[in-house]
Amino acid sequence: MESAEPLRRLLSAAAVRERAHEMLDIALDGGVEGWAVDLGRLGDAAELTAAATRERYPDLAIPFHARWRHFVAGEPMLPGAGAERARAAFDLVILSVLLDAGAGPGWRYRDPVTGEILSRSEGLAVASQRLFEGGALRPDGAALAALETETLARGFQVTADNPLVGLEGRTFLLRRLGAQVLARPDLFASADFPRPGGLYDVLAARADGGRLPASAILELLLEALGPIWADRLVIEGVPLGDCWRHPAIRRSDASDGLVPLHKLSQWLAYSLIEPLEAAGIHIVDVDGLTGLAEYRNGGLFVDTGVLRLVDPAAAARPHQVSDPLIVAWRTMTIALLDRLAPQVRTLLGVSEEGFPLARMLEGGTWIAGRRIAAERRADGGPPFTIVSDGTVF
């Protein structure tokens, strides 16, 4: 339908960036309820980011921000080589990223291989890695569609004393993934069985002369994974995923009031770059993707005072991810990351070409946000209490 075309355009990184900067501009004019913006504090965020980057990567040889950085217990065991290995890497990282929503401050994971005790993203990554390597988390579409909550509970060592936020939501998301894998053999078929790794073959076929823009990875993910998100907006038959309503964004078409963020999908797109390049496909225009609207990056801007709540008491109240206050925070985070990048590059003495957003996030803003959160709050968590269903953040 022609009326659905503005909605389909929201399924792109370009739309995320456009509306994020629009939101920030409106906020700078005082038009976003609940928020004030002080760009004069952006230098503080840049200095924290540059310092964290120099400490972690003294030679400034910074990899892209990707799920692979969180498999801290050792290189994941993947079979084969070439396309076969790329499919297996897709299987692992897709499943692991979809399990990466905030774990909550009380959850811990003891790696049975190394004995190391991990939490948050690193713990979730290694737990999913061990489930995958041990065969309990199989990438077969049929197996995913029948996944039991108890399987994830055992794998993530969940007990009454070790609760994991959104366990049921995570299980349901992977079940929906399995159903989608079975429903779309045109996207997920491979030589062996329908699997998430079948997306590798689609992207390989779309590469032009062995080159593929990063935005094309995201566009395929949004098409392939759009239907797996429960309780998300579906308008005129278009599943919009991580897209939310905010009254500041106005249009005269069906996309009025809508703000796309696509955080997990973009996190996944960044994470698929390495297996694609290892298989011989060169990824270009990495900055065609955006920064990530998650609480480490967003918390950096709140904790440095770039973003300030008009009513400080709002920080103490629980919020749904759909609350306009939270939607605006996440949206402005994306635009502020774009504004932050030139300042960080100047401090580090690097070029835009050599230091795309994916390196700043890794270097970078994510760890700087984590560090300042630990200084400001005893649990090191986000500056707000977000009610999570296990599929956001």
- Secondary structure (DSSP) of 2-62: GGGHHHHTTSSHHHHHHHHHHHHHHHHTT-STTEEE-GGGHHHHHHHHHHHHHHH-TT--P
Residue 115 pLDDT greater than 70, yes or no: yes
Instruction: Write down the pLDDT at residue 3.
Output: 81
Residue 273 contacts by C-beta under 8 Å, 6 or more apart in sequence? 64, 66, 214, 217, 283, 286, 358
Containing 298, the helix (H) or strand (E) segment is: helix 295-303
pLDDT over 90, % of the chain? 87
Span of 136-145, 151-160, 199-208, 230-239 with lowest mean pLDDT: 230-239
Q: Tokens 């609480």: give the residue.
A: 295
Whether pLDDT at 238 is above 80: yes
- Rounded average pLDDT over 305-323: 95
pLDDT score of 74 more than 80: no
Q: Which residues pair with 239 in a beta bridge?
A: 234
| Contact criterion met (CB below 8 Å) for 109 and 154 | no
> pTM value?
0.93
Q: Supply the DSSP string of 102-155, one letter for each residue.
A: ---TT--EE-TTT--EE-HHHHHHHHHHHHHHHTSS---HHHHHT--HHHHHHH
Cα-atom radius of gyration of the chain, to the nearest Å? Answer: 20
Q: How far apart are CA 50 and CA 63, in angstroms?
A: 15
Name the token pair of 355: 């230091």
Q: What single-letter DSSP state applies at residue 281?
A: P
Query: What pLDDT, on the 0 to 100 scale, is given for residue 190?
Result: 78
Residue 81, pLDDT score = 87
Q: For the chain, give every domain's residue range.
A: 2-387
Grouping H, G, I as helix, E, B as strand and the rest as coil, residue 169 is helix
Which pLDDT score is estimated for 393?
56
* CA–CA dist 276, 89 (Å, integer): 9
Residue 219: pLDDT above 90?
Answer: yes
Q: Residue 387's pLDDT is what?
A: 83
Tokens 């960036």 belong to 17
